[in-house]
Amino acid sequence: MKILVTGGAGFIGSHLVDALIEHGHEVVVIDNLSSGFRGNVNPYARFYELGIGDEGLVEVFERERPQIVSHQAAQVDLRRSVTEPVFDAQENILGSLNVIVNAVRFGVEKLIYASSGGAVYGEPQYLPVDENHPVNPISQYGVSKHAVEHYLYLYALHYGLNYVVLRYPNVYGPRQNPLGEAGVVAIFARQMLCGEQPTIFGRGDKARDYTHVSDVVEANLLALERGTNALYNIGTGVETSDQEIFDTLAEALGYHGTPLYSQVRKGEIQRICLDWSKAEKELGWRPKLSLKEGIEKTVPYYRKSMAT
């Protein structure tokens, strides 16, 4: 199949592009390189340096005529969404709508959308959170990611667009930018390798669902053939605290320092983990890597990147 991947030069998107090409698909990548890197793009993919909100997107759809769109591109910085909510909405809502409209216009068979299980639900009423949990995001980022889910429902209802929403957890692994504002595993790893003192926002008991990028890619591959106009949590169902992330990385990297503790930032929830039983039942997906295994697969990448 011909598959267009938005954000294909980014952390998750580039891993997905690699896997799609390995499975024999023809892949087209769109990325404006605002947070992704040209060097991440598989040489066998066709690359367009373009933002999802650009008017030129229609020309790419017209030229390439993809059968599937995997929409991974987004403004993912929760803190920036709080301080620059208009920018966040322009990128995540209007940009995504541009993708959806063109997908319908050019007869795309399915659109797979990367949403956020860590942000759309808000502070959980129960754990693990399943797909029936109330959606009450407490950050502008969570609002923008959820808004696109409504647009997908609308375009399925009125225009016959087939879609799958994957609500991601906190994803980590190789290629995650350690200089960004998102991705605590990458940020802590770089700081530890540089001999710096990582900062934990809060007392260390804030907890998230950490899932290795290889497991997230596998969910996307399964969604190519399975799932119709449905949404799925992708995660481990395990709460992992900031302190546990620090301790696990410190052990893996041989770091003997202690963290700094600072004030919790606006828009951040205290606890979250995701019930993935629906994804197992309907997509045949389940997480494979434990946190310890995932960290062991990730640490060599950061050691190597810091040494070059």
The pLDDT tens digits of the residues spanning 165-204 come to 999 999 999 999 988 767 999 999 999 999 999 999 999 9
Q: For residue range 75-101, what is the model confidence (pLDDT) as tens digits?
A: 998 889 999 999 999 999 999 999 999
**What is the residue whose two structure tokens read 């260390």?**
204
What is the identity of the amino acid at 33? L
Q: Extract the tokens encoding 301.
A: 């990448």
Burial of 79 (0-12, 13-18, 19+ CB in 10 A): middle
Is the pLDDT at 266 greater than 90? The verdict is no
Residue 181 has a pLDDT of 64
Domain limits, the chain: 2-171+211-237+277-283, 173-207+239-273+289-307
Is the pLDDT at 127 greater than 80? The verdict is yes
Output the pTM of the full model. Answer: 0.97
Cα 279 from Cα 275, distance rounded (Å): 9
Instruction: Kindly report the CATH class assigned to 173-207+239-273+289-307.
Output: alpha beta
Which of 48, 113, 121, 141 is catalytic? The answer is 141
| pLDDT, averaged across the chain | 96
Domain 2-171+211-237+277-283: CATH superfamily is NAD(P)-binding Rossmann-like Domain (3.40.50.720)
Residue 306 has a pLDDT of 80
Determine the 3-state secondary structure of 303 from DSSP.
helix
The answer to whether 197 touches 191, Cβ cutoff 8 Å, is: yes
Residue 267 has a pLDDT of 83
Residue 1 has a pLDDT of 97
Determine the 3-state secondary structure of 211 from DSSP.
strand
Cα 237 from Cα 274, distance rounded (Å): 5
Longest alpha-carbon distance in the chain = 58
* Band (285; pLDDT cuts 50, 70, 90): very high
Q: For residue range 204-249, what is the model confidence (pLDDT) as tens digits?
A: 999 999 999 999 999 999 999 999 999 999 999 999 999 999 999 9
Cα 73 from Cα 144, distance rounded (Å): 13
- Can 168 be counted among the known catalytic residues? no
Q: CA dihedral in degrees (306, 193, 252, 119; nearest 10)?
A: -90
Residue 307 has a pLDDT of 72
11-25, 52-66, 109-123, 173-187: least confident range: 173-187
Determine the 3-state secondary structure of 299 from DSSP.
helix
Q: For residue range 133-170, what is the model confidence (pLDDT) as tens digits?
A: 999 999 999 999 999 999 999 999 999 999 999 999 99
